[in-house]
Copies of this chain bind each other. A is one copy, B any other.
């Protein structure tokens, strides 16, 4: 296999610290399995925007488009108006590179404290697939009489059959290799247009998979079940906004944002997929060595899997699993191990 080029976008805040550990872990696995990974750094984020006035210039985007995958840290800084980098970089790349599946595992790892009393790892192992290119994230909407007493602000969710179907299909394919259960999450009793398209499409795709059990759950009930009965779920498919909401909750259930991984997948390969921890740039703890790099390393594991290296991916996951129980807390000075020491420890486990 020829070298695989990975575009590294560390970003802001704790982004660089955590991605450095993910790179370390990938390199350790690459050595062990004879994989040829080439890293290319891209200094995008708050500084870049302040200096150049651009979030991602077209030529940089073209460069990124040629990578085999993108490993992303986090963006966002108090010096930048909220939303500029999130929309200009994260949301923009998800859409521009047609990364229509946002894959977010919710998995409680052994030895990780969860806020949910008595929850055991075997009860919490689901994958949420969030539609990643449309829905309420398209930015459609507007104002009438803005600023006046009769102002109206509208915000539109736009859902295409093609967009909904390809996400749902991905879910059914994934379920075949898991526990063969797919749940649709929506609010179809109220969002009758969007919900109808999602439910009809779900039913049609489900008919092609008679061996897969299906289920429908309203998004409000989903929040309740995620906390009280996560064992109900295997693969969950949902829209962009609901996916955003329930995956943060899922991260809480699995022990915190610091541990949650995600892949923005373009399953067709027409553009690179992008892997990023679910957490943000956490400027409050940046540079102290207090960030947990597990989310970033686990995202890199999803990347290695996507690049065709499942054993290497498993090695990264096993490394994280081995080191997490040694932490005093999942974040902050109480972790009892610096971000870098965590990365070294994972790399050491991988190298064993």
Contacts and interface: CB of A to CB of B under 8 A. Distances in A.
Contacts of A220: 244-245, 247-249
A146 to B, nearest CB: 8
Interface residues of A, number: 65
Given A83-B188, A224-B248, A252-B227, A193 B115 contact: no
A46 to B, nearest CB: 15
Interface in A247-265: 247-249, 251-253, 256-257
Interface stretch (A60-68, A137-145, A319-327): A137-145
B219 A87 contact: no
Interface stretch (A18-26, A147-155, A302-310): A147-155
Contacts of A253: 227
A316 to B, nearest CB: 25
Interface stretch (A157-165, A286-294, A344-352): A157-165
Interface string A109-151: 0000011111000000000000000001101111101011111
A257 B222 CA distance: 12
A130 to B, nearest CB: 11
10 contacts: A83-B188, A115-B227, A141-B156, A141-B157, A141-B192, A145-B161, A152-B161, A153-B196, A190-B244, A245-B245
A140 B157 CA distance: 11
A193 B153 contact: yes
Copies in the complex: 2
Contacts of A190: 83, 86-87, 91, 136-137, 139, 241, 244
A93 to B, nearest CB: 15
A200 B149 CA distance: 12
Nearest to A148: B161
Contacts of A177: none
B155 A160 contact: no
A52 interface: no
